[in-house]
Amino acid sequence: MKLSFLLNGRPTEVDCEAQETLAEVLRARLDLTGTKVSCEVQVCGACTVLVDGLPVSACTLLAYEVRDRSVLTVEGLARPDGSLHPIQQAFIDEFAFQCGFCTPGMIMATKALLDDNPKPTDDEIIHFMDGNICRCTGYVPIVRAIKRAAAQIQQEKGK
């Protein structure tokens, strides 16, 4: 089937099979490998992308469900000039990753959080990020990175 949707701000058409997940289409058909696949049952968050601004597990969402919708992946966060998004930079600055496998999903979940709640408390961050698992960092640097990104985004907005 032909699938049409907005991908990282650009109109996209791709042929896919009815049973293919969004993660499979992104990785295998569109060569966007930032979206990771780990648990395949909506438990770990490694495959998190935003669909119409909301975080979803791309490993279980059938690709055809995004027809005529907007999908944002970690590859789409960089700015037009190629510089990193403040969330991406904050994860680097705070060493909020080790192996990096969970990082794209963490970053996309963070984007959804900060779009909805620009100044989250530590407890709000922990609660929101509960669906994203990291086996390496112990989470403290991730919380610091989210707070840093929130502050940077607010600073850029002049608030």
CATH code of the domain containing 130: 1.10.150.120
Shared domain check, 107 and 64: no
Shared domain check, 90 and 70: no
Shared domain check, 142 and 93: yes
Shared domain check, 42 and 21: yes
The 8 Å CB, 24+ separation contacts for 82-85 are: 85/111
Amino acid at 52: D
CA contacts within 13 A on the Cβ side of 74: 27
Is residue 48 in a domain? yes
Shared domain check, 129 and 70: no
Q: What is the pTM of this model?
A: 0.95
Instruction: Indicate the burial class of 155 (C-beta count within 10 angstroms; 0-12, 13-18, 19 or more).
Output: exposed
Shared domain check, 99 and 56: no
Shared domain check, 108 and 49: no
pLDDT value at residue 156: 92
Shared domain check, 92 and 54: no
Could you tell me where the beta strands, DSSP code E, fall in 58-158? 70-72
Shared domain check, 135 and 117: yes
> Could you tell me the residue range of the domain that residue 70 belongs to?
2-76
For residue 84, the SS3 value is: coil
Return d(Cα 150, Cα 153) in angstroms, integer.
5
* pLDDT less than 70: residues of the chain: 159
Shared domain check, 12 and 43: yes
Return the CATH number at 70: 3.10.20.30
Centre a 10 Å sphere on the Cβ of residue 8 and count the other Cβ atoms it contains: 17
pLDDT value at residue 138: 81
